[in-house]
Structure 1
Amino acid sequence: MKSDDVRKVKLKECLSQRYKSSRDETFLGTIKPRMGVQGLTTFLETHQQIYRDVQFRMSRLVIDGCNLLHLLYFDSGLDQNHGGEYAAFENQVEKFIAALRACEIKPYVVLDGGTDPTDKKLETVTQRAEDRIQRAHLAAVGGSQENIMPQLAKMVFKQTLARLEVPVAKCYGEADQEIGALANELNCPVLSSDSDFYIFDLSAGLLPISHFQWEALEQSGSRCYIPCKNYKTSNICILFNIQPQLLPAFAALAGNDYVKLQRMESFIRWAQFCPASAVKPSRLEGLLCWLRSFHQPQEAFEAALGLMGTLSGKRKAELLQGLHLGMEEYRLPPSTLKRFFLHGTAPPFPAEEETAGLVPDWIRLPFTQARLSSDILDVLLLQRKNLGYPVADADTPSAYLSSRPIRQVMYGLLLGCRGGPVQERDRKGLHLKFIPVQPALRGVAEQLQLNSLDKAEASQRLQVLLEALGVTEASLSCLPTRLRLLMAVTCYWMQRAQPRPNDRLLRALLLGVANSDALRRRADLQIQNQKLNVGVAHAFSQWQACMKDSIHLNQLLGYPLPEPQIAKLYEGTVVHNLVHQMRTRKMKRLKYNPSSVIQYKAMLSVVHQSLSQEATKPSVTQKTPTSPRRQHQGDLTTSLQQLFLQYEDDEETATEAYSVVRAAQDRDLDGLLSVKTRYKARERINSGYNPDLVLKKELRWVDVM
């Protein structure tokens, strides 16, 4: 066995042991994105009597958006390692919303926002980022499913909900308390898997996602309903005979995201307080039993510290403060989102003195509408940004290096003259690093101010975006507006990605864009135990990183270009398989309609022209003459692009137009063809007067590769 293979095997064994505990927290295939009270969900699953079976219908429902995202992607068995199955994910979201509407359930989806400026969860966030880096490496080298969310899945989730007109709101910070407060004010339950919701006092209770059988609709009379289970805090209090006001104290003593009491665990073995009849004594059951003799949190806290032996006054005060802080996280404030959902009014931004004035007022509404990235608040308030960690071999550099210049423009717009770098939390090998990145303003961007960015001229905002991507408006003018940002990003990727993507990767990407629906249905393009090519994965991860950062910049600039619908234009599993088949020469001729061919060739020519212009920019004193033949070919390419733009929605006319252009191309290349090929070319030219014949002979099987 090679030394590299030995190293990878040892690393996999080490990491598998390291993450055993986190996998123990997995239920129904879903790792909870926020752990809350560790082990609580698993513990309560062994006490099914705390749940009540319900037939859920005709109700409002507040949904933990982060949990739903993970449920719909991971529990659907979608591919995680080849860049995402976004079309299938979109379909899952559509089916979920259709199930709710069939039962007359009105959803309100609430998403997390920026990082807590107090950094109370910094240790937790850092640990999870490090864990994800390790798991992403395991997935790349071993092919295992490590629950790594594809980079653009969250964007597909939000785009699909917006298209379906589902009410969505993004909080300024973490969403848990706002979700609970909103549910109480709307008098409806919460749908989530986060164990914190077992502690919140929810008037209509919690519907655990693990028991929400939305794919198994049943009918009672003429109405449909979703079979599920409902949980209320009174259930656990009755079962373990504790006072309701002690539940937050229980969560704090058990340890949650905000309270790290591992040292307390080394002093107090809560399992010793389990009843003798307990089949499998656990720390959580022991802690609940121990709390029976108390009525108020304060007395329970002091008694718990007494079990730790002699403590200094300072140490005791620190522990008490931490326990009270942890308990306060379960106090529900008045909802700030109710007015937004009912009247479209954005909530006020928290008025902490240290953050006052850093966030312009105009940002509040689009941010709450989930039309701006959460990272905007992190940059404005903390000058920090967390980057993604896609499936990648640790030996490859971070996929986000290629898109850094795009983010630098965004940092420049956000921070203006405030100065100072943004600390990017990125991967370096298998390690998490903070990397200082300086904001950058150049060109038109230097003329804009964040406070008035929403009022800037549309032409200025468009120019900032195009300058950041290194393309011109003229180079994209031959394309329909829905493809312009996607193609600008692709041109940028071809110039910035390292190593530079070869033409095979580009053609696979564009072929997937032009023929996404047809290719997804091809059985021979499905993932079938194909080992991940880490080089191809790295290239397309860079493309997704460029797309993600470009969309965020486009959002900040007020959408000067329409946002690409990711699920319609990119499928990671398809492009990986196309590259594989091209490389192994097993590529079959693919059947396309004429408009797809025109679209493909138009996009390909845009990228090639962009690369050519970048590579052969003449000096001021030097001019390169253009040969008549090359000039004529350029005119034909322009004609092809213009035809696509003109007839993209008219397939019959596009077919005729395509045949004419192809006939002209064949005539121009006639001198370069073999005798046999020249004969076929002439036959196509002669049949150019009969578009129906062209459609049958020329476009029945088109090999665009």
Structure 2
Amino acid sequence: MGIPGLTTFVNCNPQLTKEFPLHSTRLVIDGNSLYHFIFEDTRMDFYHGGDYDQYAFEITEFFRLLHSCNIELYVVFDGGTCNDPNDIKFQTIQKRMKQKLENAMRIASGLRGKKRVMPILAFDTFKAVLKKLSIPFAVCDFEADKEIAMLANTLNCPVLSNDSDFFIFPLTGGFISFDKVIFSLQEIKGENNSVEHFLPARLYHVDNFFPSLGKEVLPLLAALLGNDYIDKDVFKSFNDSIQSNECKTQDWKSPGDKRTLKVVLWLQGLNSYSEGIKEIISKAGSQNEKTISSALETIIETFQANVPETESSLYSYFMGKEQIGENQIRRVNGSVIPMWYLSHHRKGSLSPNCLDIITLHRKFLSPQVEDPNSLASSYQSSVNLRKYMYGILLSEDSADFETNGAWGLQANMKSVVKEFDRRGDIIISQVINPVKLETYSGKSIKLSDIPDLSRNEKKNLLRMILDIPCFNIDHMTPDLELILGLVIFWIKNSQRKVTISHMQSVLVCLIMLKVKWALMYPASIGCDKNLIEAAVFGIKTKTLKIVNEKLYKYSKYTKSRTSRVDCGLIHGFAQFQTCILATMHLNSLLLDPFPGPYIPHIFSGTFLYNFCKELHRRRDPDQFIYEMLSKNSNLIQIYQCLFDAVNKAVGPTAFRYTENRYHYSEYTPYGGKLHDGKCLPHINESVENCSMPVFLRKTRIRLKRKDQVQQMLLCTDFEL
């Protein structure tokens, strides 16, 4: 949201703000604005899909700063989209989606610019970090702006955001824009000569704008300049009729923005708020009077934020006494959404977009950097996962299904979802038929039934949806089972097949991110370690540092004017991200039968891109991986165990072959093409039921005959 030109106008007129040491106070933060701000302000990479490990670090550092200043935080996020009868908000969302697609296509095509593309897992990463840091946050039912303003007024504290709408809200504690804060700790002496820290900031207050008229006039400023809920053309004729008051222009500075200055000067010349309303309506004409009056009512209602007689729902929630039952939200058919769902929605456990699916039957698929030459978007690889999610969310909208055969699955609901996705370089809408789901016992799964299902029942449902095989591996904890399951789903369902190098890069990335985490937080993992964690935390720090040093250089990206991303390579990882996103949302909808995947431990876009590109260049990519993971550790054995598990599940035809013959699936990961396609015999069985690599002491030999295998086994020592 935002009001065009208003932020620039306020920045050009410093008399509207005052110096404010930000410390020892409560602070309400606009969560949607914040997670964008941190991504953009820290200049995070956006060419390769998102470095979520680095993003998580920057989020942590941001809240560390605020904590050092003794600030009590309340973070609030937007929920679903209100059902707007005029579809103004819908048109705004479509416009922004089109702009984001254009930016993504430009980046993928090698064109540079200032516009950035937010990675699609950034929001879920941000929420996950908040949970790890125990930062209190809430998700509103719909738009958060008014709820944020009411909460801040109840707490009598400032709001921190980059949304220019907050220049209009009557905030008793004032408004601080992100770009008006210097995020560098300063010292101040407190009581008893104690040293306290603060962040220098500038505070805006509505009373500073039009002191003589009062803050009630500010909604007129929002109406005439336009916002997400008002069509700017409604007031175009009135804006054109405004005459500039030249004698008062010296009070304000507005270089290059005569429109905002003209509206401000007109408002300043009014004698009263009611006079402004009458003048706007009188100049509208009889044909537009009804439209103008309706628009004014909408804008005035939008920016009312007085503390009601009863406490705001957000205040009650943060104080631990919310009554969810009072906030009833209805489906398209008029039935009430279950209270358990609203409770988990408010806690941020569910995707806010799911509410749009229930109430509006539509879903916007946020564009990302991928191959512009691919007609189908990366989201097509995960469409089957979304069908199951839609089936659960809309399970009580319609009972009319047609049986679809095996596995108890049924399709063709009358209630469908309209997805907005890209096709080529344009935004299109397509109708998706949800898929109904049944348990193995034949029971239909409804949204209201989910809390009553056992954890094992819900695990089995997700295993069936992802087609997760049975992994007979030591330390196969549920979190790793889900991660490997979604990796397998990604490879099997990619609309453009990925190469084996894509899979290898993902598996090495899982290890690399755990190594990095172990070095940063050596005591962070609990006793229930998965296969990777057990290996990483069992290795000496010196060895971990060696591995980290070797792999770290692939986490860097040097941008130049002539550099261009390999969009064909990136497309495979873009498909992987959509599978991660859909899997996470399905898992959370089933109330997390598996531990929710922690994205900073799964995906690092720059590393994946650089490492995969390096594998494509290598004559012997398998030996290269061995060298990177260090022969003095058991990480290579862990990698091979993961490789075997995934490779066995996807089959030999799952990958797209490259020109490099060593990438063909007929080659074993750590050996040559053998007689009848058989693999080199497994020597090391140190991880139960999991094949391990065989390495020659000094050199690699590509074998072509069975007698060569026998001769090698007799004559060669092995490093295990």
> Normalised by the size of structure 1, how large is the TM-score?
0.81
Task: State percent identity of aligned pairs.
Answer: 26
* 3-state DSSP of counterpart to 1:389: coil
**CA contact 1:199–1:330 (8 Å) conserved in 2:** yes
Structure 2 counterparts to residues 394-543 of structure 1, below 5 A: 394-396=372-374, 397-416=376-395, 418=398, 419-444=414-439, 447-474=444-471, 479-516=476-513, 517=516, 518=548, 522-523=552-553, 525-529=555-559, 530-543=563-576
Q: C-alpha deviations, 1:287-314, integer Å up to 9, x for none?
A: 1221234355443123124345xx23x4
Q: CA deviation at 1:480?
A: 2.8
Equivalence for 1:545: 578
Deviations 1:414-442 (A, max 9, x none): 11251321111111122222210001124
| 1:328 matches 2:301 | yes
Query: Paired residue for 1:653?
Result: none
- Secondary structure of the 2:687 match is helix
Cα deviation 1:254-311 (Å, max 9, x = unaligned): 2111111335335533472353536646222221221234355443123124345xx2
The unaligned stretches of length 5 or more in structure 2 are 399-413, 517-547, 655-673
Q: 1:207, 1:228 within 8 Å by CA — same for their partners in 2?
A: yes
Distance 2:66 2:550 in 1: 27
Q: 1:520 to 1:358 in 2, by over 3 A?
A: farther
**How much does 1:614 deviate?**
9.1
1:272 corresponds to 2:247 = no
**Residue matched to 2:367:** 389
Q: Secondary structure at the match of 1:202?
A: coil
Distance 2:292 2:612 in 1: 57
Distance 1:296 1:488, change over 3 A: farther
Aligned with 2:313: secondary structure? coil
2:11 to 45, 56, 74: 45
Q: How does 1:284-299 map to 2 (within 5 A)?
A: 284-294=260-270, 296-299=272-275
**Deviations 1:343-386 (Å, cap 9, x if unpaired)?**
16364464467765341111122111111011221111111111
Q: Given the alignment of the two structures, is residue 113 of structure 1 paired with residue 79 of structure 2, yes or no?
A: yes
In structure 2, distance between residues paired with 1:519 and 1:359: 51
Q: Which residue of 2 aligns with 1:257?
A: 228
User: SS of the counterpart of 2:297?
Assistant: helix
Q: Deviations over 1:380-420 (max 9, x none)?
A: 11111111210134332211111000000111111125132
Aligned to 1:55: 21
- Taking a change above 3 Å as real, the CA distance of residues 43 and 453 of structure 1, as seen in their structure-2 partners, is same
Q: CA deviation at 1:597?
A: 2.0
Q: Shift of residue 44 of structure 1?
A: 0.5
Q: Report the CA distance shift for 1:320/1:106 in structure 2 as closer, same or farther (over 3 A).
A: same
Contact 2:512 2:551 in 1 (8 A): no
User: Is the Cα–Cα contact under 8 Å of residues 375 and 385 in structure 1 kept in the other structure?
Assistant: yes
1:78 matched to 2:44? The reply is: yes
Q: Note the C-alpha offset of 1:185.
A: 1.1
Q: 2: distance between equivalents of 1:513 and 1:672?
A: 35
The Cα shift of 1:111 comes to 0.7
Aligned ranges for residues 161-176 of structure 1 at < 5 Å? 161-176=130-145
Q: Which amino acid aligns with 1:327?
A: I
SS in 2 for 1:237: coil
Matched-pair contact (CA < 8 Å) for 1:218–1:227: no
**1:295-694 paired onto structure 2 within 5 Å:** 296-307=272-283, 311-312=285-286, 314-332=287-305, 334=308, 335-343=312-320, 345=322, 347-348=324-325, 350-351=327-328, 356-396=334-374, 397-416=376-395, 418=398, 419-444=414-439, 447-474=444-471, 479-516=476-513, 517=516, 518=548, 522-523=552-553, 525-529=555-559, 530-585=563-618, 589-592=627-630, 594-612=633-651, 640=687, 678=712, 682-684=716-718
Determine the C-alpha separation between the residues in 1 that align with 2:373 and 2:502. Answer: 21
Change (3 A) 1:302 1:353: farther
State the AA in 2 paired with 1:182. Answer: L
Is 1:135 paired with 2:103? yes
1:231 aligns with 2:204: yes
Out of 632-641 and 332-341, give the one that drifted further. Answer: 632-641
CA distance in structure 2 between the aligned counterparts of 1:501 and 1:580, rounded to whole angstroms: 13
Shift of 1:218: 3.7
SS in 2 for 1:203: coil
Evaluate the alpha carbon distance shift between residue 266 and residue 599 of structure 1 in structure 2; reply closer, same or farther with a 3 A threshold: farther
Q: Name the aligned partner's letter for residue 157 of structure 1.
A: F
Equivalent pair of 1:489/1:547 in contact (CA under 8 Å): yes
* 2:132 partner letter: R
The answer as to whether partners of 2:387 and 2:432 remain within 8 angstroms in 1 is: yes
Q: Distance in 2 between matches of 1:499 and 1:127?
A: 28
Change (3 A) 1:292 1:408: same
C-alpha distance in 2 between matches for 1:511 and 1:565? 16
Aligned with 1:590: secondary structure?
A: helix
Q: 1:566 is aligned with what amino acid?
A: I
CA root-mean-square deviation: 3.3
Q: Within 2, Cα distance between the matches of 1:675 and 1:492?
A: 34
Instruction: Check the 8 A contact 2:76/2:140 in 1, yes or no.
Output: yes
1:564 aligned counterpart, secondary structure: coil
State the shift of 1:315 in Å.
Answer: 1.9
Match of 1:156 among 125, 128, 135: 125
Comparing 343-352 with 414-423, greater Cα deviation is found at 343-352
CA distance in 1, matches of 2:715, 2:184: 54
Cα distance change of structure 1 residues 331 and 162 upon mapping to structure 2, 3 Å threshold: same
CA distance in 1, matches of 2:394, 2:683: 46
1:652-695: per-residue Cα shift (whole Å, max 9, x none)?
xxxxxx899999xx9xx9996969994897433xxxxxxxxx6x
Query: Secondary structure in 2 aligned to 1:343?
Result: coil
Query: How many pairs were matched up?
Result: 621
Letter matched to residue 158 of structure 2: P
Give 1:519 deviation, angstroms: 6.8
